[in-house]
Amino acid sequence: MMSQPAFDPFGEPVPTAEPSAGTGRAAKWLKSGGTGLFWVLVVAIVLARAVYFEPGSFSFERAFAWAQGLLTLVQGLAI
């Protein structure tokens, strides 16, 4: 059964696309890498804003201790 033709906003027919061949390992790796990079940038921007706008309430010693505690927790869960 043929699907109905699609049209763009200007009335031109849109060619039907075949399923993407990029559903392999490389596409999954790129998606995971992009997602991870996004969240790393989010954390870096939030921390930079905290340091810049609230210099008295943020200490690197507390942040380092928190990061060590988080790493210890993650390592404990992985074992």
pLDDT at 32: 92
Q: How far is the C-alpha of 18 from the C-alpha of 27, rounded, in Å?
A: 17
Q: How far is the C-alpha of 3 from the C-alpha of 1, rounded, in Å?
A: 7
Calculate mean pLDDT across residues 58-64.
Answer: 77
For 4-59, what is each residue's pLDDT tens digit? 778 888 888 888 777 665 568 888 899 999 999 999 999 999 888 877 776 666 67
pLDDT at 37: 95
pTM for the model = 0.43
Q: What is the amino acid identity at position 18?
A: E
